[in-house]
Amino acid sequence: MPSKTEKLLSLLNGQPVIPVLKINDPAHAAPLAYALARGGLPVIEITLRTPGALEAIRRVIAEVEEAIVGAGTILNAAQFEEAASAGAKFIVSPGLTKELLTAADASPVPLLPGAITPGEIMTAREAGLDFLKFFPAEQAGGAAFLKALASPIADVKFCPTGGVSSGNAMDYLSLPNVVCVGGSWVAPDAMVREGRWDEIEALARQASELVERI
């Protein structure tokens, strides 16, 4: 049986950008996910930052067959269980706590927890988690910081999120310890609000092609 890290890597590896989405209106969820998938980004993270986030996850799962939906901004075990019950295929957290680790240990749904300091990264590694979210990436030292970690903690891989954009994504993706990046630039709030799905598809296609430049 593959480990949870292997399960996560099988979901996220090969897609250079994971859209990080804050969906205010669940009615936008399915057409947004469909536009992103058409543009080559079927794996998405819907953050639990809005009241309708769980409903958004359920709608995408029900209506967009090609989408692979994860839940983000998970802060505690209750949210972990709610997101998993809604059908999330992976869980993303800004950090790692004992409560979250216990919830993850009891669930088949893999956890991608955030870590930024060497101590946090080593703690996650000791818990068997060697694929981590590096958040907030730009504020924590950016690509230069991650590059410095590549040698002393060579077996840990990262998905940087926070301040990552089309302008700096390649700085991260070119590093040996980065699998993918998370970003919201592929689905700007105004485009989602106005239903400009073709433009979002075009942004997704540009992001999906970043892997060809590595």
Tell me how far apart the terminal alpha carbons of the chain are, to the nearest angstrom.
31
Tell me whether residue 45 is one of the annotated catalytic residues: yes
162: left (phi over 0), alpha (psi -120 to 50) or beta: left
As a whole number of angstroms, the distance between CA 71 and CA 45 comes to 5
Give 210's DSSP letter.
G
pLDDT band at 14, cuts 50/70/90?
confident
Catalytic residue among 22, 45, 157, 201: 45
Catalytic residue among 133, 138, 157, 201: 133
Mean pLDDT of 49-53: 97
Class of the domain covering 4-204 = alpha beta
* Residue 6 to residues 120, 164, 211, Cα–Cα distance (Å): 21, 24, 20
Residue % of the chain over a pLDDT of 70: 97
Q: Which of 93, 149, 170, 132 is nearest to 8 (CA)?
A: 132
- Residues 6 or more apart whose CB falls under 8 angstroms from that of 57 comprise 29, 46, 69, 71, 83, 86, 87, 88
Domain ranges for the chain, please list them.
4-204
Tell me, what's the pLDDT at 4? 82
* Paired strand residues for 134: 160
The pair of three-digit structure tokens given for residue 78, joined into one six-digit string: 């209750």
User: 1 pLDDT exceeds 60?
Assistant: no
- Main-chain dihedrals φ then ψ at residue 69, nearest 5 degrees: -105, 125
Tell me, what's the pLDDT at 3? 82
Mean pLDDT of 151-177: 96
As a whole number of angstroms, the distance between CA 96 and CA 64 comes to 30
Mean pLDDT of 26-33: 98
